[in-house]
Amino acid sequence: MLKDGAMPKDGAEKIAVVLFNLGGPNAPEAVQPFLFNLFNDKAIIALPQPLRWCLATLVSHRRAPVARKIYDQIGGASPLLGLTRDQARALEAALADRGEARCFIAMRYWHPMTEEAVLEVKNFAPDRIVLLPLYPQFSTTTSASSIAEWHRLAAAEGLHAPTHALCCYPTDAGLVEAHGALIRAAIDRVEGRFRLLFSAHGLPKKIVERGDPYVWQIERSAEAIAESLAPAYAGLDWTVCYQSRVGPLDWVGPSTEDELRRAGAEGLAVVVVPIAFVSEHSETLVELDIDYRAIAEQAGVADYVRVPALGVGPAFIDGLAGLVRHTLDGAADLCSHRGGRLCPAGLKGCPHG
């Protein structure tokens, strides 16, 4: 990133790369408003206002004490913003060949939120903007919500620079390589037979049944990573499972808890991969590292090894830089890592229509 006040090279294009992520509370008192913002998103709860506002107020009030206890286990706050800043700095360095490329962070439910990022980007006055969700797999509840919010607020602020959105990159080579390296290091720590568990944040079945492509893309990510590992691990035993179920709705499965119990019954060790999370946060540091480890021990799992999130691993950051270049060079308003639509025609939630 150029120092404040520095001028870009003559003729160099100014690129703003906007990194989208969920966000997380930065203090115990931020937990309830963070939860309110989450549940007040129509992509999460599809009720009209003011019903959604009322329900979000009720649910956030009831869930806040439990959520605070979760964050208490990792110092009272989410580490997500700091880790995303690390990724932003690493990506800027990787894009040094692309004129003046500066990364901005737009969190969906806590600061710095989208409206703050819009103002920062407007002040930067870029020639072009790339919207880059830090969700490799597209969902109407994550990437779609963030992209829609960006376009709404950018239009309201008069930010009209040409904007290109990358919707998804579930089987991008950099993503697959980065996961593979971390998984191989984890497997080296396991003795005896093991099963690879690709654990993703779950979704209610009704969202998937409406055509949300998230589960289909999670499965493609797992397949691509398992295929990359196959030459080194003949007969690799792996499966996809889902964590973080909340509330009484019917969620996609199998659940991570059930897969841990199945592995324990079969006398297997497990290597757990956070397949949908590119940074550490409460779902990895508490749910996977503490809660599910305890379930695994109770279930008789022979060994429990958790693979780290991708973070600023070189293959992942280089992959993101390649995705930014690909998005700019393609110049489409919306693209996947392969250019056009990835999803089968039946998945109506695909942003390519």
CATH of the domain at 257: 3.40.50.1400
Q: What is the pLDDT of residues 45-91, one digit of tens each?
A: 989 999 999 999 999 999 999 999 999 999 999 999 999 999 999 99
Q: Could you tell me the residue range of the domain that residue 63 belongs to?
A: 14-169+314-335
Percent of the chain beyond pLDDT 70? Answer: 97
Q: Are residues 224 and 280 in the same domain?
A: yes
First-to-final CA distance of the chain: 36
Q: Is residue 352 part of a domain?
A: no
Q: Is residue 350 part of a domain?
A: no
Q: Are residues 258 and 128 in the same domain?
A: no
Q: Are residues 117 and 214 in the same domain?
A: no
Q: Are residues 182 and 158 in the same domain?
A: no
Q: Is residue 200 part of a domain?
A: yes
Per-residue model confidence (pLDDT) at position 11: 57
* 92 alpha carbon, distance to own chain's centre: 19
Q: Is residue 353 part of a domain?
A: no
Query: pTM of the entire structure?
Result: 0.93
Per-residue model confidence (pLDDT) at position 331: 82
Q: Are residues 224 and 270 in the same domain?
A: yes
Q: Are residues 298 and 318 in the same domain?
A: no
Q: Are residues 48 and 79 in the same domain?
A: yes
Tokens read off for 190? 């396991």
3-state secondary structure of 185: helix
Q: Is residue 344 part of a domain?
A: no
Tokens read off for 101? 């490329």
Q: Are residues 136 and 161 in the same domain?
A: yes
With contact defined as beta carbons under 8 Å apart, do 164 and 333 qualify? yes
Q: What is the pLDDT of residues 120-151, one digit of tens each?
A: 999 999 999 999 999 999 999 999 999 999 99
Q: Are residues 188 and 138 in the same domain?
A: no
Q: Is residue 2 part of a domain?
A: no
Q: At residue 24, does pLDDT exceed 80?
A: yes
- Taking CA 188 as the corner, what is the angle to CA 234 and CA 222, rounded to the nearest 5 degrees? 55
Q: How many domains does the chain have?
A: 2
Residues contacting 319, CB < 8 A, separation 6+ = 169, 172, 173, 174, 175, 177, 178
- Taking CA 212 as the corner, what is the angle to CA 208 and CA 213, rounded to the nearest 5 degrees? 110
Q: Are residues 129 and 153 in the same domain?
A: yes
Handedness of CA 174, 178, 179, 181 (dihedral sign): positive
Q: Are residues 328 and 212 in the same domain?
A: no
Q: At residue 211, does pLDDT exceed 50?
A: yes
Cα–Cα distances in angstroms (integers) from residue 2 to residues 92, 99, 103, 124, 163, in the given order: 10, 10, 11, 12, 22
- Starting at the edge strand found earlier in the chain, the sheet holding 269-274 runs 238-243, 194-201, 269-274, 304-306
- Taking CA 87 as the corner, what is the angle to CA 293 and CA 230, rounded to the nearest 5 degrees? 55
Q: At residue 209, does pLDDT exceed 80?
A: yes
Q: Is residue 63 part of a domain?
A: yes
Q: Are residues 62 and 198 in the same domain?
A: no
With contact defined as beta carbons under 8 Å apart, do 147 and 62 qualify? no
